[in-house]
Copies of this chain bind each other. A is one copy, B any other.
């Protein structure tokens, strides 16, 4: 299985030691971006992974390349062009103080690139799995064009397409997002997250309306069934997060697979680094699906993958399958020596 993803690479700058952005004297550098995070986490699990993106041909771009390569992610499809790398500032919250993100990603090399003449078939043809997210079309019109080309080409090539809705309210409006993302659904095999998507019944009511952010099994199953009725996904998955404080959360997940909804165990944990938790759910899910794990195991592996990520610095799950399996199956947490 050869995996490729398309998306914007971001440089993350965060003050050390829970300092605030407005008073810090230094920033720690990490690289991320929802799609690249999935690739890096999968590569650490041993999957052959590539990223397609556009980065500026300067030392910031080179630094990002070093990060991908160090994690065994292939960078050969990447285009060096444009002027700036998308950047975001992360103020890591703790206790009653929530984490904050300041985006400085506008006008990025990836958003500004003109993809009209891009030979996407040439890029995608040797891969089996394409991962996309709802962030890309929110970036620019160029990126909307890229998304549509990618979906069409992937379909034509017979690739498995996973799609993480990943709504970002700072990037675009809910209505626009819903209209556009819903149009992508016919091309999607594995759907991750269910907002913002149209799901209206015959009366024009959105079936998801009024559903809690932490829905019951019954509610979730009903919505999954309706979604599946329309689009016939290979799988639908979403995680459910309970936020006790900035550094203590719980997670569980629902997976629709083979006509049935599965619910994972609920895990409660402390947080070292919140960012990339959702992407690690995606990478865990994709890995489990690639490996053909049974659905009960798949949904639990995906949650454990996400939970593990919260204990690792940076945006990605730099760990291995064995560690996630141990966590999933009653980890002892005791020092190993």
A212 CB–B CB distance under 8 Å: no
> Shortest beta-carbon distance, A266 to chain B, in Å?
13
A26 to B69, CA, bound (A): 19
Q: Count of chain A residues with Cβ under 8 Å from any Cβ of B?
A: 81
Q: Indicate which residue in B18, B20, B28, B63 contacts A59 across the interface (CB closer than 8 Å).
A: B20
A29 CB–B CB distance under 8 Å: yes
A71 cross-chain contacts in B, Cβ below 8 A: 66
A35 to B29, CA, bound (A): 29
Contact present for A93 and B332 (CB under 8 Å): no
Closest to A88 in B: B337
Per-residue interface assignment for chain A, residues 69 to 111, with 1 indicating a CB less than 8 Å from any chain B CB and 0 otherwise: 1111000000000011101110101111111111110110000
A307 CB–B CB distance under 8 Å: yes
- Protomer copies: 6
> Shortest beta-carbon distance, A11 to chain B, in Å?
10
- Interface positions of A (Cβ within 8 A of B): 13, 16-29, 58-60, 62-63, 66-67, 69-72, 83-85, 87-89, 91, 93-104, 106-107, 168, 170, 241, 243-248, 267, 269-272, 274-275, 307-308, 310-314, 318-319, 323, 327, 331-337
A-B contact pairs, 27 of them (CB 8 A): A20-B59, A20-B313, A21-B59, A21-B60, A21-B63, A22-B59, A22-B62, A23-B66, A24-B29, A24-B63, A26-B26, A26-B27, A59-B89, A59-B100, A87-B87, A87-B104, A88-B337, A94-B270, A94-B311, A95-B311, A96-B308, A96-B327, A97-B311, A98-B332, A103-B337, A170-B337, A243-B334
